Each structure stands twice: as C-alpha cells, then as structure tokens.
C-alpha cells in the first residue's frame, strides 16, 4: 500500500495586481481585495486549500511591504509560515525560497504551489485534483503542472502542449509536457484550440521539494547559489538580512521560463474544476453576474457603496467607490473609480492597464500608485 504523501501548500501572494488599478494599489494589492466575493482573495485561497492541507503546513510567500495586511487577513496561518521576500523577483525565486523551507522540514514532502488570485468554480473537484497531483509528484522527481482545457481562443494565458502518456494516478492520465507557449496572438490561440492538444497553463504546480531544488541547481545556478547561503539562518534572527544579501544577487525570472521550459521531467495533469486566472478587469465580465444588457456592476466599499448606471450600453464593467459611474451608449467598456482616480478603457485593452502605471511613475504622480 502506497504511503500517503506529506503535503505542503505554498501560496504565491506577492504580486502588485497592477491590472486592477485603480482599485489595486501599492498599499492595497489585489490579493487583499474582495474581488470575487465579500472575502479577500488571499482568504478565499487559504480556506479553499484547508481541507487538503492544514494551516500549519500552509506557507504564504509575499513581500515585506504586504506582510502586515496579510497577517490581518489570515491570522490563522502561523507567523513562521509567512515568507517575506525583500522584493518581488518573479516566481522562480519565490518558489525556491518556499522549497528551502519545506525541504528543511521534510526533504521528500510534496509542495503544491498556487497563486492567490485564481477563481475556482468547483471546489471539491479542485481538492480531488490536487490530491491526485500530490500523489503523482510523490512517486519520483516529476515537476507536475496543471493544465486547463481551453474553451475559447484566449490571448491572456500561456499554453502547454500535451505529449505522450506518462502514467495514471487513481485512473486519471498524466502526460508529458511537450512544449510551453507564451501568450499567443488571437490567430495562434485559435489554432491551439482547434488542435486539441494545447491546454491553458494554470500556474498551479506540484513537486517534491528535493526534486524542485535539484532542478533549480541544474537550470538556475545563479539563483540556487545565493539562496543556499540563507540555509544557516532559516527561522533565526538573521534570516531577513541574509535574504537581503541573497536577493540582491538573484535573477528575476519565472519558474516557467527558467526551469519548466528546459526540464525533461515535466508532467501535465488536466484539470476541470472551473478555473480562471483573475488577472484583469475583463475577466470579471466572465465571472460576475450581469444585468439584462450584459453589464457587470461591482459594489464599492461597504461604508460608501457607489452607484453605477448604464443607459443604451452593453458588455461593460463598472465600479465606483465614492462617485456615481454612468455610461451612455458604450459597449464593452471598463469604467472604474477608486482612490481619487478613474480608469476608462475598452474591455479588450484591460490587460494593458500597467501602461497607465508606467506613465504615472514617469510623470512622478506617485500619489496615484
């Protein structure tokens, strides 16, 4: 009888959520906002994983600037399980830091890595799938990623091409990941959909801590060496300063580009639990209830719920905090007011909102960041 794996959850919660500006700000990032419900996204993520992974084995990686707010949102997570990066350097350093922590507790433990900004429609299926992923990952040195069968040609997601069958876990097939593709053009996304062997890259992973650290050493030695130097300080008083020194030398690189696109032991498990990456205002049009004209009206803060009004308009996403938001004769438009700033853009351009922040920085208008 196969032994049940020792499973840790690693929640990546350090991003700035710039595509949700002006609601999301430097001091109020996306993961501590109630974007999909009355609960913040980080609280939803922690509670969603809890039936599979206990709180004492749930780790959250975030930036030091966000630590205070996160502790308020999830006080049930032990303080030592909140891993604080000196600065965000993409997912490879983030996950390596977490893997070192998990490895120190149990080198053979499986870590399930997941972002804090996902929508999951079918929570029971989500937990069943993660249980299968952890079981398969515990069998050896596979780096397993979850892929989502696409239902439309989406240009905002990365894709993974499905290869040959590697094995099964509780009757579910696990495939070799043949190739990773970055966010495609609309034409390429349509071709991937027609082919049928491309899946959306969910950004959810499962692997043994020792297997992942071996991959970091092989493919990202410039990341592995500095972070190895923090080992004597883990959980001790000097950990913060050791991290400062290490992160100053670490490259800023994603785990997909730095490791998964190069490794030959990447496995792929299809998931069907109603997944969506909550990455921009346009995504909320797919996820939130609509009025008869297909408009999404998002509530403001409870203390001052602003009103929204649509006349002869369709396909819009509206949200205000203090002022009335009214649109007339508009189609597929985002109109958002928050924190003394207003954003208006076509819904299809909501992925480009970070360009607004770049211009604000260039002009020195930091009070709006």
For the stretch 275-288, pLDDT in tens is: 999 989 999 998 99
d(CA 6, CA 27): 35
pTM: 0.92
pLDDT at residue 142 in the model = 96
Q: What is the mean pLDDT of residues 53-73?
A: 92
Tokens of 328: 């007339």
Tokens of 259: 């490791």
Q: Do 276 and 118 form a contact (C-beta atoms < 8 A)?
A: yes
Banded model confidence at residue 235, pLDDT cuts 50, 70, 90: confident
Tokens of 13: 């919660």
Q: What is the mean pLDDT of residues 41-65?
A: 94
Q: 180 pairs with which residues across the strands?
A: 160
Tokens of 136: 């398969």
Banded model confidence at residue 237, pLDDT cuts 50, 70, 90: confident
Is the pLDDT assigned to residue 300 strictly greater than 80?
Answer: no
Is the pLDDT assigned to residue 183 strictly greater than 80?
Answer: yes
Q: Do 170 and 214 form a contact (C-beta atoms < 8 A)?
A: no
d(CA 143, CA 95): 13
Is the pLDDT assigned to residue 320 strictly greater than 70?
Answer: yes
Q: Do 308 and 341 form a contact (C-beta atoms < 8 A)?
A: no
Q: What is the mean pLDDT of residues 12-31?
A: 88
| Strands 266-270 vs 143-148: parallel, antiparallel or unpaired | parallel
Identify the burial level of 287 via C-beta atoms within 10 angstroms of its C-beta, where 0-12 means exposed, 13-18 middle and 19 or more buried: middle
How large is the angle between the packed helices 123-138 and 41-49, nearest 10 degrees?
60
pLDDT at residue 14 in the model = 83
What is the chain's mean pLDDT, rounded?
92
d(CA 365, CA 369): 8
- Strand, helix or coil at 81? helix
pLDDT at residue 339 in the model = 87
Helix (H) or strand (E) holding 211: helix 209-219
Share of the chain above pLDDT 90, in %: 78
How large is the angle between the packed helices 221-228 and 239-249, nearest 10 degrees?
160
Helix H segments across 229-297? 239-249, 255, 281-287
d(CA 49, CA 70): 17
Tokens 């991003």 sit at which residue? 15
d(CA 129, CA 108): 20
Is the pLDDT assigned to residue 305 strictly greater than 70?
Answer: no
Tokens 């929204």 sit at which residue? 308
User: Over the stretch 122-144, which tens digit does the pLDDT of each residue have?
Assistant: 999 999 999 999 999 999 899 99
Q: What is the mean pLDDT of residues 148-157?
A: 90
d(CA 207, CA 111): 6
Is the pLDDT assigned to residue 150 strictly greater than 70?
Answer: yes
pLDDT at residue 260 in the model = 95
Q: 160 pairs with which residues across the strands?
A: 180, 199
Is the pLDDT assigned to residue 302 strictly greater than 70?
Answer: no
Tokens of 247: 């992160």
pLDDT at residue 304 in the model = 55
Q: Do 316 and 348 form a contact (C-beta atoms < 8 A)?
A: no
Banded model confidence at residue 15, pLDDT cuts 50, 70, 90: confident
Q: What is the mean pLDDT of residues 333-340?
A: 93
Q: Do 206 and 230 form a contact (C-beta atoms < 8 A)?
A: no
d(CA 153, CA 135): 32
Q: What is the mean pLDDT of residues 78-96?
A: 93
């Amino acid at each position: 009888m196969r032994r049940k794996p020792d499973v840790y959850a690693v929640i990546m919660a350090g991003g700035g959520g710039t595509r949700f500006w002006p609601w999301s700000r430097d001091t109020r990032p996306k993961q501590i906002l109630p974007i999909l419900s009355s609960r913040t996204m980080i609280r939803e993520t922690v509670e969603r994983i809890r039936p599979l992974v206990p709180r004492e084995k749930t780790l959250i990686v975030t930036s030091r600037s966000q630590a205070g707010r996160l502790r308020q949102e999830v006080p049930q997570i032990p303080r030592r399980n909140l891993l604080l990066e000196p600065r965000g350097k993409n997912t490879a350093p983030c996950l390596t830091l977490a893997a070192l922590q998990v490895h120190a507790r149990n080198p053979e433990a499986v870590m399930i890595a997941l972002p804090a900004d996902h929508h999951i429609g079918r929570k029971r299926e989500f937990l069943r799938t993660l249980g299968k992923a952890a079981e398969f990952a515990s069998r050896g040195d596979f780096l397993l990623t979850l892929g989502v069968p696409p239902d439309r040609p989406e240009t905002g997601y990365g894709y993974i091409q499905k290869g040959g069958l590697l094995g099964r876990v509780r009757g579910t097939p696990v495939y070799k990941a043949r190739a990773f593709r970055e966010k495609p053009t609309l034409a390429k996304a349509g071709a991937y959909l027609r082919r049928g062997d491309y899946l959306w890259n969910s950004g959810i992973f499962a692997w043994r801590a020792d297997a992942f650290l071996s991959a970091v050493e092989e493919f990202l030695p410039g990341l592995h060496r500095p972070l190895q130097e923090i080992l004597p300080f883990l959980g001790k008083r000097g950990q913060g300063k050791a991290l400062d020194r290490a992160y100053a030398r670490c490259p800023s690189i994603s785990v997909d580009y730095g490791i998964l696109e190069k490794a030959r032991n990447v496995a792929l498990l299809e998931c069907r639990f109603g997944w969506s990456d909550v990455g921009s205002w346009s995504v909320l049009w797919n996820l939130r209830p609509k009025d008869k004209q297909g408009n999404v009206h998002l509530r403001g803060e409870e203390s001052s719920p602003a009103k929204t009004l649509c006349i002869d308009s369709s396909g819009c996403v509206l949200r205000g905090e203090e002022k009335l938001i009214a649109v007339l004769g508009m189609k597929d438009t985002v109109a958002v007011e928050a924190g003394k700033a207003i954003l208006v853009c076509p819904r299809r351009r909501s992925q480009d909102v970070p360009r607004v922040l770049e211009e604000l920085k260039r002009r020195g208008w930091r009070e709006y960041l």
